[in-house]
């Protein structure tokens, strides 16, 4: 594993150069062609309805090392049991006080966070019906708000122009929820989609960003129409009467050839800061860089009077869009490079801690000439937008993609990601993690090697075709992973990512299956608190014993009792 670091000075110079060129040529810029409509696809392979028999009880418990607990989350078999059989899963989850809640396209589940035992499984439609809505089209995001001690979920409505928000009444994900719905993108009056909704929370607001798509004519193909950042005061969502969008502000950035760039898949920044300024980042629509802007004048009760800054490129080191990921696919070489790495959009949460903002993208770095996907971390000064540190997580012979990040109050960082490659020995798609600390200057210091969390069960995953056949159609993966921090112990990070399950065929234990590829999700807990060596434990116990002896002697001396 190699971390390719970059200097601050180079980023500052690059940012200045990019800013000059951007201002001079904005009207001539053309959107990157691969930023596409990402609505999940229902899978319809006849007879492929076998129920999950192999994975639900899979739990890993480790007594030592940072990887303490792992368990299977929702699988595609779970969704299929409800008739909700989608690709990709849109892997998502969050940890609360006692539970871990996972969401996918098709099914939601709740687990005991300390044992991995599943305590509830339901279809996504059932969850939203219980919360007061009629139907859903997926793309769920979920978070736990430690300040309010409540959960929040966001997803498409039954109509994809709408977004719906559910908030739990208590810290118990199995209790009651209330919901609201609003129009995310009206479009041209037909076929509009507020696509790829993102989610972030700070002390003042909830941020939900969307990519907006609509056909030019009724019945036509969807095309990109711009973005919206929906800023909702936090008091409106966590009030006693249930969530509402009172005093919401919608920041709409149309794609109309003007060159205005507020980023693709705009992602708000999660923060515990009391600042009235909210930060937003996204992948540039036109250039190989990230875009940033701020929303100023926010309060917990209103976003309607807020102002929006100009957007700026942050000046990332050079990269291009990563190609498809490799896997061994020993039996069928045609499937060796088909897995979609998801382009460079910021697909998961962004965090601000101690005045520094942390994010990850999937990129093809141009410095090593390997044409392999890398997970790039970037640390930005929240006040100046200057890049403090940047590096690429990766190793020659492997693709790294679908990254996610979280940072605790001590500046400890955990990054989750998928890794795969052509080598039959270690090339299966794996869900992995890497840990860092933040030094006094804001640079990340690696504190682990790549940690294997879960390896896929097959070496040739592909969507939409049967076992032994060449991959057909869009080979979507992800579309995201997530890292969240335990609200009761911020040294414990919970990660969720996708892995490939066994084929749904008789040879794999599914008598009624016809051989379709199937995804699974995996939840892992990484503990970054130091673990004493065995000798240290012995010294600790001896020390505690001596403390007890001395205490008894002092107590007995005071009472005249013998030792």
Mean pLDDT of the chain: 88
Percent of the chain whose predicted confidence (pLDDT) is above 90: 72
Task: Please report the beta strands in 234-289, taking only residues with DSSP state E, as ranges in sequence order.
Answer: 249-254, 264-271, 278-283
259-282 residue pLDDT tens: 789 999 999 999 998 899 999 999
The span from the CA of 190 to the CA of 214, in Å, is: 7
Pick the range with the lowest mean pLDDT from 74-83, 295-304, 330-339, 384-393: 74-83
What average pLDDT does the segment 516-538 reach? 77
> Is 413 a residue whose pLDDT tops 90?
yes
Which pLDDT belongs to residue 465?
A: 85
Q: Are 230 and 154 in contact (CB under 8 A)?
A: no
**Residue 498 binned pLDDT confidence (cut-offs 50, 70, 90):** very high
Pick the range with the lowest mean pLDDT from 32-36, 306-310, 361-365, 517-521: 32-36
77-119 residue pLDDT tens: 999 889 899 999 999 999 999 999 999 999 999 999 999 999 9
User: Which candidate, 463, 471, 467, places its Cα nearest to that of 503?
Assistant: 467
> Is 443 a residue whose pLDDT tops 90?
yes
**Residue 373 binned pLDDT confidence (cut-offs 50, 70, 90):** very high
**Residue 316 binned pLDDT confidence (cut-offs 50, 70, 90):** very high
Per DSSP, the three-state class of 17 is helix
Per DSSP, the three-state class of 505 is coil
Which pLDDT belongs to residue 286?
A: 93
Which pLDDT belongs to residue 273?
A: 86
- The residue among 373 and 54 whose pLDDT is bigger is 373
131-161 residue pLDDT tens: 999 999 999 999 999 999 999 999 999 999 9
Which pLDDT belongs to residue 57?
A: 54
- The residue among 255 and 11 whose pLDDT is bigger is 255
**Residue 333 binned pLDDT confidence (cut-offs 50, 70, 90):** very high
The span from the CA of 251 to the CA of 306, in Å, is: 10
Which pLDDT belongs to residue 46?
A: 60
Task: Please report the beta strands in 76-134, taking only residues with DSSP state E, as ranges in sequence order.
Answer: 86-87, 92-95, 99-103, 107-112, 118-123
Give 441's DSSP letter: T
Which pLDDT belongs to residue 47?
A: 61
Per DSSP, the three-state class of 551 is helix
What average pLDDT does the segment 428-442 reach? 98
Which pLDDT belongs to residue 323?
A: 95
Which pLDDT belongs to residue 19?
A: 38
Contacts of 163 (CB under 8 A, 6+ apart): 154, 155, 156, 157, 181, 182, 183, 184, 194, 197, 208, 210, 230
Facing residues of 544 across strands? Answer: none
Which pLDDT belongs to residue 113?
A: 98
Which pLDDT belongs to residue 245?
A: 96
> Is 54 a residue whose pLDDT tops 70?
no
**Residue 52 binned pLDDT confidence (cut-offs 50, 70, 90):** low
pTM for the predicted model, two decimal places: 0.90
What average pLDDT does the segment 428-441 reach? 98
> Is 1 a residue whose pLDDT tops 70?
no
Burial group, residue 135, by CB count within 10 angstroms (0-12, 13-18, 19+)? middle
> Is 25 a residue whose pLDDT tops 70?
no
Pairing of β 162-168 and β 150-156: antiparallel
Which pLDDT belongs to residue 174?
A: 98
216-243 residue pLDDT tens: 888 788 889 999 999 999 999 998 899 9
């Amino acid at each position: 594993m190699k971390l390719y670091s970059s200097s601050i000075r180079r980023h500052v110079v690059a940012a200045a150069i990019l800013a000059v060129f951007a201002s001079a040529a904005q009207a001539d810029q053309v959107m990157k062609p691969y930023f596409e409509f990402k609505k999940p696809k229902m899978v319809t392979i006849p007879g492929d309805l076998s129920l999950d028999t192999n994975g639900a009880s899979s739990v890993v418990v480790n007594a030592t090392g940072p990887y303490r607990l792992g368990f299977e989350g929702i699988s595609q078999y779970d969704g299929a049991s409800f008739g909700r059989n989608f690709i990709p899963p849109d892997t998502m989850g969050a940890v609360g006080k006692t539970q871990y809640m996972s969401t996918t396209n098709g099914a939601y589940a709740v687990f005991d966070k300390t044992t991995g035992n599943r305590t509830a499984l339901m279809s996504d439609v059932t969850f939203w019906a219980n919360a007061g809505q009629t139907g859903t089209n997926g793309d769920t995001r979920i978070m736990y708000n430690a300040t309010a001690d409540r959960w929040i979920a966001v997803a498409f409505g039954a109509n994809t122009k709408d977004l719906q928000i559910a908030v739990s009444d208590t810290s118990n994900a199995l209790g009651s929820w209330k919901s609201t719905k609003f129009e995310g993108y009206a479009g041209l009056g037909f076929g509009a989609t507020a696509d790829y909704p993102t989610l972030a929370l700070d002390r003042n607001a909830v941020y939900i960003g969307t990519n907006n798509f609509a056909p030019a004519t009724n019945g036509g193909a969807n095309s990109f129409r711009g973005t919206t950042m929906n800023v909702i005061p936090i008091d409106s969502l966590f009030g006693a009467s249930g969530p509402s969008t009172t005093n919401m502000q919608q920041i709409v950035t149309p794609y109309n050839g003007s060159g205005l760039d507020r980023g693709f898949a705009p992602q708000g920044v999660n923060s515990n800061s009391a600042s009235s300024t909210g930060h937003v980042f996204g992948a540039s629509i036109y250039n190989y860089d990230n875009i940033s802007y701020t929303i100023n004048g926010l309060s917990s009760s209103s976003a309607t009077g807020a102002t929006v800054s100009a957007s700026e490129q942050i000046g990332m080191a050079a990269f291009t869009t990563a190609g498809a990921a490799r896997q061994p696919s020993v039996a069928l070489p045609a499937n060796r490079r088909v897995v979609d790495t998801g382009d460079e959009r910021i697909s998961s949460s962004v965090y601000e801690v101690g005045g520094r903002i942390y994010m990850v993208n999937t990129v093809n770095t141009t410095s090593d000439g390997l044409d392999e996907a890398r997970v790039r971390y970037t640390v930005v000064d929240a006040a100046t937008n200057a890049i403090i540190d940047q590096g690429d997580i990766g190793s020659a012979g492997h693709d790294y993609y679908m990254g996610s990040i979280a940072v605790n109050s001590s500046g400890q960082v955990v990054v989750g990601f998928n890794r795969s490659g052509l080598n039959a020995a270690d090339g299966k798609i794996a869900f992995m993690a890497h840990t860092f600390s933040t030094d006094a200057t804001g640079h990340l210091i690696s504190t682990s090697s790549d940690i294997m969390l879960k390896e896929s069960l097959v070496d040739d995953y592909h969507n939409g075709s049967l076992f032994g056949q060449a991959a057909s159609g869009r080979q979507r993966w992800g579309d995201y992973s997530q890292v969240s921090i335990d609200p009761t112990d911020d040294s414990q990070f919970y990660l969720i990512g996708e892995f490939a399950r066994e084929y749904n065929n008789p040879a794999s234990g599914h008598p009624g299956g016809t051989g379709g590829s199937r995804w699974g999700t995996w939840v892992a807990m990484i503990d970054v608190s130091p673990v004493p060596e065995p000798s240290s434990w012995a010294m600790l116990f001896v020390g505690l014993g001596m403390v007890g002896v001395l205490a008894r002697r002092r107590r007995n001396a005071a009472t005249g009792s013998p030792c």
